[in-house]
Structure 1
Amino acid sequence: MILYFSATGNSGYVAKRIADGLGDERLDLFDRIRDEDSSSITSKTPLVVVTPTYAWRMPRIVASWMERTPITAPAGAYFVMTCGGSIGNAGAYLKRLCAKKGLAYRGRAGIVMPENYIALFTTPAPAEAKRIIDAAEPAIDRVIECIKAGSALPEHAPSLTDRLSSGVVNDLFYPAFVRAVKFRVTDACISCGMCVRACPLANIRLEGGRPVWGSDCTHCMACINCCPKEAIEYGKHSVGLPRYTFRRAASATGKGRSGGGERS
């Protein structure tokens, strides 16, 4: 079984590719997380968990959901993380999670996909995004073949930078930066409610037809990237930057593999 969480479609696409390659089912965790649904999960096939990378680790909302959800997977758990550059030392924390859950850890893989963290980085234009997606295909294929063979995903020894990034930097990053206070809406807003529906924590509501953010934000960037009118900004940093979703990048070029990016 493939479990996945995706905000702008990268992890949704990778999950679909893996599910298709293995002939296995997939389960979108969006509603499970949003609805605080911790009903049990049982997988007779290897469990494959596909998520984005938030500050060089699995998103805390996914890790928390896994911690409180009964999971049975005798064939062990693989982890595949989409990222803009690196997953750091995420594997160390995934091993701890597996130990807590009584799951056999089968390794982790990082898949470089287009950057969507528009709050801090520069998001790619559609043509560049499509180039990055195409370049990721061989890495996805290697993950599929490894799981098919029953092998653990290969891992390199983490560097000092990796350990610091996933450790102290992650610990400091969340309280310092992961807040919704800088989100704002412009007059381009059409009150469609897409941002409300896209939020995995139900942290956005419409008041007078305009989005209002609460305090429970995970910085998934779904609201700002999925807005059809690009009417949401994050401080001054996002002004003028492309809004990235997997589906938009795939449809803009009309070539290569497509589909699977449900949260886009």
Structure 2
Amino acid sequence: MQNRDSLYIYYISGTGNSRLCSHWIADEAVKNGLRTVVQQIDRLENINMPTADEKPLIGFVFPTHGFNAAPIMLKFIAGFPAHLCREIFLLNTRGCLKLYKIFVPGLSGLALLLPAFMLWLKGYKCTGYRSIDMPSNWVPLHPGLRKKVIESIIAKADPNIRVYATKILSGKNVWRGLYSLPADLLISPVAVAYYIGGRFFLAKTFIANNKCNNCGICISECPTSSIRLVNNRPYWKLTCESCMRCLNHCPQRAIEAAHGMAAAFMIIMSAVNTWLIVFLINNLSIQPEAWWWKIVSQFISIAVMVAVAAFLYLIMHYAMGFKPLNYLVRFTSFTTLPFWRR
């Protein structure tokens, strides 16, 4: 504490979990008399950095996306200047559920490991390495949590974050994030698959239904500038990180996670991928059991998935102007159903 005069927290948040955690930590820093800067890194614009005469502690707070750190945070860390201070800390939020009275924690995968390694290469020492379970908000995957469940998860996380903050601010090392390391390493292949392919497919599952009035809030709120108007309708680019900020901020509740459309995409992608793999094997005399082909075929499958999803999404985007199709997509999306609690 005596060698620090400021705290800088850089965070990215889609639905508020990381923002809330950042401010909990900042509260503890203010109590200790530190000048505190809490900086959202949306679009990587207007970022405040410590000055040369400061002695800061720097923290990075971010959600877990597909068992990875949010891609925009990885991009931010990749471009982060070296040697602004000696010590940094990391905190990732994970999706927590609650079954009756049992809290079901999330998993981090590579969400902490990769940022810690990247910052170590820049000369930083990670003194805080922590995951915190916050309400799971991935409504494309499961119904939204009930208010009481959300409140109970937040109530459990609040004191844990403040204890973490107190320890790192006092100069102690906190490595609690390593407790789940075996499980995190076990699911790391899933994290890699998500990062190189899965996230691009998910980016093409969001649509704006006929309730959309082109207010532009989703475009202005998107932290990665991944939404633009095409044919007078919001269009999600491949850079979308599925943070759900647009879905949660839309005043018309017009943004849907199009489950029916995604299922149709998957069927078509599977058919195209199967045809292409068989075509290549038959025409290039490839041995299907060859080790190199097993690796190459996986990358081909990922490329097919991304390309087909992007192509079909573009077609669907223009076709959504046809009202019957618009209604079909809307009513095959779980997020339009009352019990889904979007």
| Range of TM-score over shorter length | 0.7 to 0.9
Query: Matched residues in 2 for 1:92 and 1:107: separation?
Result: 12
> What pairs up with 1:104-253 in 2 under 5 angstroms?
104-155=125-176, 156-165=178-187, 167-179=188-200, 180-207=203-230, 209-236=232-259, 237-240=334-337, 241-243=340-342
Q: How far has the Cα of 1:195 moved from its partner? A: 0.8
Cross-structure match for 2:91: 80
CA contact (8 A) 1:41 1:71 kept: no
CA contact (8 A) 1:194 1:226 kept: yes
Structure 1: which amino acid aligns with 2:185?
R
Aligned residues between the structures:
239
Q: How far has the Cα of 1:107 moved from its partner? A: 2.8
The one-character-per-residue Cα deviations of 1:232-260 (angstroms, maximum 9, x if unpaired) are 111224332223xxxxxxxxxxxxxxxxx
Change (3 A) 1:88 1:175: closer
Change (3 A) 1:139 1:233: same
Specify which structure has the bigger relative contact order, considering alpha-carbon pairs within 8 angstroms and separated by 6 or more residues. Answer: 1
Whose helix fraction is larger, Structure 1's or Structure 2's?
2
Structure 1: which amino acid aligns with 2:157?
A
TM (norm. structure 2) is: 0.64
CA contact (8 A) 2:212 2:254 kept: yes
The one-character-per-residue Cα deviations of 1:61-105 (angstroms, maximum 9, x if unpaired) are 211111113144424110011111222353332331122211111
Change (3 A) 1:160 1:148: closer
CA contact (8 A) 2:90 2:116 kept: no
TM (norm. structure 1) is: 0.81
SS in 1 for 2:135: coil
RMSD: 2.2
Cross-structure match for 1:10: 17
Q: How far has the Cα of 1:208 moved from its partner? A: 5.4
| Paired-residue identity, % | 28
Structure 2: which amino acid aligns with 1:76?
E
Q: How far has the Cα of 1:177 moved from its partner? A: 2.5
Query: Matched residues in 2 for 1:210 and 1:12: separation?
Result: 29
Cross-structure match for 1:253: none
Structure 1: which amino acid aligns with 2:60?
V
CA contact (8 A) 2:69 2:112 kept: no
The one-character-per-residue Cα deviations of 1:17-41 (angstroms, maximum 9, x if unpaired) are 111210222111114x2x4x68865
CA contact (8 A) 1:38 1:65 kept: no
Q: How far has the Cα of 1:146 moved from its partner? A: 0.9
Which is worse superposed, 153-162 or 184-193? 153-162
Change (3 A) 1:113 1:175: same
SS in 1 for 2:130: strand
**Structure having the higher Rg:** 2
Q: How far has the Cα of 1:205 moved from its partner? A: 1.5
> What pairs up with 1:84-103 in 2 under 5 angstroms?
84=95, 85-103=106-124
Change (3 A) 1:26 1:40: closer
CA contact (8 A) 2:61 2:90 kept: yes
Query: Matched residues in 2 for 1:170 and 1:123: separation?
Result: 23
CA contact (8 A) 2:92 2:112 kept: no
Q: How far has the Cα of 1:118 moved from its partner? A: 1.8
* Structure 1 outlier segments of 4+, above 3 Å: 37-43, 88-91, 156-160
